[in-house]
């Protein structure tokens, strides 16, 4: 079930900031956002949005999909044509949202319930009653969407595939057909409403650390400003998943838990989080090899198919050339 931006449980400041971050610096996305929320017409088709924005149809489809995946608008159909429905909260606060999106500094200083702003260097400790917090850490074995990993024995380390290819393979595992393009202000690398946990579909935000990150993953390696986990938890998800090709330091897991607690306490709901380290990633690649074997890596270093297991496959090199896309986040 889709949860709109105007969820009454959320704080006004959080809602404004979240939508502004989704818009980011993409002028095309802002134009599509303006067009959807312009005028009295509640639902606009892709043809309507082409006319209003002057953008090519493919760009309208791509940017509208991003807005829908982040629950800023709602996807629907008018006859046989894809269409998008305006959100009441965004319509009422359109100008404020666009001002924040156009001014990254103002957005970073914008106080919200989840990211309050303070002056000075005083450290404040907040104690929350146990009943106000409802969080759970999941292992990959507890995620139904990855059920085949449960029967996968430990194997040697695989050659890390390119992040784009890994993300595409992950989408195939989930059955997610959305379009997810990397850009500087993204909250997550992949957002899907098709992750199944304990028999129920959940909204999930994935943070993927590609092969450009070397050594043990620590908070300092999480984006240029070390804020990738913080940005991940701004996504409107029920489950937050971090994936890396190697060992994940316990400090990263502690940070994930801290943000999960903050999210749960501020929004009054259950929050799940999970980490998929190198060993778990290796199991995922082998269990669903049919989805990852088209990765753009040298053929000798690709993940073996189900039929070729045990045929003397050797692991690829531990360290590969750093990918610029991973270091940019």
Model confidence pLDDT, tens digit, residues 278-316: 889 989 998 998 998 754 444 334 444 433 333 333 333
Verify that 192 and 71 share a domain, yes or no: no
Is the model's pLDDT at 128 over the cut of 70? no
What size, in residues, is the chain?
329
How confident is the model over 228-276, as pLDDT tens digits? 899 999 999 999 999 998 899 999 999 999 999 989 988 889 999 999 9
Verify that 191 and 290 share a domain, yes or no: yes
Verify that 201 and 61 share a domain, yes or no: no
Pairwise pLDDT comparison (151 vs 59), residue with the higher score: 59
Verify that 181 and 261 share a domain, yes or no: yes
Among 66, 99, 90, which Cα is nearest to 10's?
Answer: 90
Is the model's pLDDT at 118 over the cut of 70? no
Q: Is residue 67 part of a domain?
A: yes
Verify that 104 and 145 share a domain, yes or no: no
Residue 82: which H helix or E strand, with range?
A: strand 81-85
Q: Is residue 122 part of a domain?
A: no
Range of the domain at 102: 12-108
Q: Is residue 2 part of a domain?
A: no
Domain count, the chain: 2
Verify that 80 and 143 share a domain, yes or no: no
How confident is the model over 169-223, as pLDDT tens digits? 999 999 988 776 654 556 778 999 999 999 999 999 999 987 778 889 998 888 7
Verify that 52 and 162 share a domain, yes or no: no
Verify that 171 and 73 share a domain, yes or no: no
- Residue 9: pLDDT band with limits 50, 70, 90: very low
Q: Which of 74, 108, 142 is the last residue of a domain?
A: 108
Under DSSP, the state recorded for 141 is G
Verify that 230 and 313 share a domain, yes or no: yes
On whether the CB atoms of residues 229 and 198 are closer than 8 A, the answer is no
Tell me the β-bridge partners of 54.
none
Residue 135 to residues 51, 73, 82, 263, Cα–Cα distance (Å): 45, 28, 37, 9
- With vertex at residue 300, the alpha carbon angle to CA 296 and CA 302, rounded to the nearest 5 degrees, is 45
Verify that 221 and 321 share a domain, yes or no: yes
DSSP 3-state of 192: strand
Verify that 103 and 151 share a domain, yes or no: no
Q: Strand 135-138 and strand 271-276: pairing?
A: parallel
Q: Is residue 117 part of a domain?
A: no
**The CATH number of the domain where 24 resides is what?**
1.10.10.10
Under DSSP, the state recorded for 214 is -
Q: Is residue 318 part of a domain?
A: yes
Verify that 172 and 30 share a domain, yes or no: no
Distance, CA of 64 to CA of 60 (rounded, Å): 6
Distance, CA of 92 to CA of 69 (rounded, Å): 21
Q: Is residue 7 part of a domain?
A: no
Phi then psi dihedrals of residue 190, to 5 deg? -150, 130
Q: Which of 42, 73, 108 is the last residue of a domain?
A: 108
Q: Is residue 78 part of a domain?
A: yes
Q: Is residue 314 part of a domain?
A: yes
Residue 78, pLDDT score: 93
Q: What residues contact 158, with CB distance under 8 A and at least 6 apart?
A: 281, 282, 285, 286, 303, 315, 316
């Amino acid at each position: 079930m889709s949860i709109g931006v105007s969820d009454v449980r959320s704080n006004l400041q959080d809602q404004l900031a979240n939508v502004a971050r989704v818009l980011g610096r993409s002028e095309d996305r802002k134009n599509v956002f303006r067009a959807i929320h312009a005028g009295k017409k509640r639902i606009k088709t892709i043809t309507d949005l082409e006319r209003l924005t002057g953008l090519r149809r493919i760009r309208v489809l791509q940017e509208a999909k991003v807005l829908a995946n982040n629950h800023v608008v709602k996807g629907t159909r008018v006859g046989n044509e894809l269409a998008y429905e305006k959100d009441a909260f965004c319509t009422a606060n359109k100008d404020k949202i666009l001002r924040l999106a156009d001014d990254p500094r103002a957005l970073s200083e914008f106080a919200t319930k989840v990211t309050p702003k303070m002056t000075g260097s005083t450290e404040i400790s907040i104690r929350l009653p146990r009943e106000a917090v409802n969080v759970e850490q999941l292992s990959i074995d507890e995620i139904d969407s990855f059920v085949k990993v449960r029967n996968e024995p430990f194997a040697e380390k695989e050659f890390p595939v390119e992040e784009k290819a890994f993300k595409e393979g992950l989408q195939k595992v989930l059955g997610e057909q959305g379009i997810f393009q990397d850009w500087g202000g993204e909250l997550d690398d992949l957002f899907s409403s098709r992750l199944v946990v304990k028999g129920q579909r959940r909204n999930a935000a994935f943070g993927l650390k590609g092969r450009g990150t070397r050594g043990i993953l620590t908070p300092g390696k999480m984006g240029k400003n070390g804020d990738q986990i913080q940005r991940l938890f701004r996504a409107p998800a029920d489950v937050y998943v971090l994936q890396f090709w190697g060992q994940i330091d316990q400090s990263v897991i502690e940070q994930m838990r801290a943000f999960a607690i903050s999210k749960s306490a501020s929004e009054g709901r259950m929050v799940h989080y999970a980490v998929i380290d190198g060993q778990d990633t290796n199991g995922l690649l082998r269990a669903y090899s049919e989805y990852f074997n088209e990765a753009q890596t040298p053929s000798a270093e690709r993940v073996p198919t189900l039929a070729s297991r045990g045929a003397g496959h050797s692991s690829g090199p531990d360290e590969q050339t750093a990918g610029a896309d991973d270091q940019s986040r």
